[in-house]
Structure 1
């Protein structure tokens, strides 16, 4: 019988959760500053496993921000939908967020709801750090997928075709649903539209990731509407294959830290069939401008880059 695949780096214990993505990290207390070796071990695990999880970390907003700042510069909570009062770096992920709810029943497809955070911006966040506070006793799991392995598992001819393609990302309601007034007001106040490569070269590892956020990517540049639809639906179906994913069951005090450059994730919808409340809080770290295999960087069509929270507070 083989041993459990654990990786011990000093006092940091890393426990992988699936073949391609996800690991739990034990042996650290996130309420206090980490040592340089702990920061290094966590960052290495993030690059390898794409999303890492911590349990029983009961952080305040201030401690959440302090933990996040050890890995990069924090953005404002959300560049379009705001932040928690008094905490410009923190965004509330509540069960009934008015700004991101829609009217009507959206068309449900296998990839519905999957997304990479804020890809409508020209410099999407490098990472997102989500903290569970009020958690249902069951339901409400979040899933992540590995966009690097998804790219690698495509056929060589298809990889060669999409390596030079680019797509337009923006905030819009899902197909079949209508925007609420809160959503329209928020998007009009801070319109963000960007053109990104369909394949992104990871700035730290050099790996290629299939950068096709299903919620935000609307069409492929230079293709006809039908060609674009067919290609994107093929890619979206591919990136959400179960064998590329990990599913996380939240508990109070759980924390998920994911690399936004190489993952997409799916927020739960089963919580709306339950009477339980659900409240999480997220911070994000300032990201760079994506670059494709051809060396071409993303470009902004509308809006400006996502600012650091410190810069946002001065405006």
Structure 2
């Protein structure tokens, strides 16, 4: 019998899993126990683990097929499934003319609540992130429960949003306000458009739960309504997603690994270390997902771009690996 423990970290989201060494192959019972905890708590954290690229990839593969590291960033050598997230990653490439705010936007790809890679027709099912280098303080990651956010809506509003579809794309600008512009990154996005129309409410394929499926980084507008109506609807939903009672904040430490359900959560990168001269380096593997389905039983619609899978999706030049940046 498995000896793992599951200890909730917050009222509606997040749990710490103990009693398991995830650097080793897991038996079916342990895998099922982890998935059960993930279904209930949406994001789980493992402490004091010893993983490298190979063992992180092996751990992830026990839960499904892995994607190529990232559609827009070159992976580490000999580990195409890895996406490395590094503080001030592109500072040298972007040069002295870009502001610190612009560079910050480029390192993370965003700076607000988001569900990973929703412009794809089949966004990731989940992701596993491990820490390699960490600052002495700051740099926490927060997650929010999109099922709880949906459940908190009034019944009439639930019935309304159940009927809606939203446009997801790189470079989304849901509120029409000026957004950071980084020439190289923006050009790559323009050359490789990714656009999908997803249900605003997604039905989870394992649990059957309904979850809000919009986020302020990738959702551009509600389909079929006026611009002002779209801004009002999305603004309200984004406020609901960010309500503190639906969130958990995890402090990173050496050996920390976080596994989240990308169908039912948003997360936000740290916004408290851009002014600090610190190192923060993490590595992610990502699980290939299925096409979302709404409460009406209809699937998402692909507007532009390829599916997400284990091979690179674009042929143009990547942003370079962090280790190539002096």
TM-score of the alignment, normalized to the shorter chain, above 0.5? yes
CA distance in 1 between partners of 2:184 and 2:60 (Å): 29
Match of 1:6 in 2: none
Distance 1:61 1:191, change over 3 A: same
Match of 2:198 in 1: 196
Q: CA RMSD in A?
A: 2.3
Point out where structure 2 has 5 or more consecutive residues left out of the alignment: 103-109, 316-326
Tell me which of 48, 55, 60 is aligned to 1:63. Answer: 55
Query: Which secondary structure does the structure 2 equivalent of 1:265 belong to?
Result: strand
Tell me which of 271, 281, 296 is aligned to 1:294. Answer: 296
Query: Which secondary structure does the structure 2 equivalent of 1:114 belong to?
Result: coil
Match of 2:9 in 1: 17
CA distance in 2 between partners of 1:33 and 1:310 (Å): 27
8 Å Cα contact 1:169/1:196 also seen in 2? yes
Matched, 1:274 2:300: no
How far apart are residue 295 of structure 1 and its match? 1.2
Distance 1:203 1:168, change over 3 A: same
Tell me which of 14, 31, 35 is aligned to 1:43. Answer: 35
CA distance in 2 between partners of 1:243 and 1:310 (Å): 38
Match of 2:142 in 1: 143
How far apart are residue 252 of structure 1 and its match? 1.5
Match of 1:3 in 2: none
Matched, 1:157 2:195: no
Match of 2:241 in 1: 239
Match of 2:77 in 1: 85
How many pairs are equivalent?
Answer: 301
More deviation in 75-84 or 256-265?
A: 75-84
Residues 146-173 of structure 1: CA deviation (Å, up to 9, x unaligned) = 0001101100010011101000011117
Match of 1:34 in 2: 26
Query: Which secondary structure does the structure 1 equivalent of 2:69 belong to?
Result: coil
What TM-score, normalized to structure 1? 0.90
8 Å Cα contact 1:135/1:251 also seen in 2? yes
Match of 1:252 in 2: 254
Residues 285-307 of structure 1: CA deviation (Å, up to 9, x unaligned) = 00000010011111111101101
8 Å Cα contact 2:291/2:300 also seen in 1? yes
Point out where structure 1 has 5 or more consecutive residues left out of the alignment: 1-8
Match of 1:263 in 2: 265
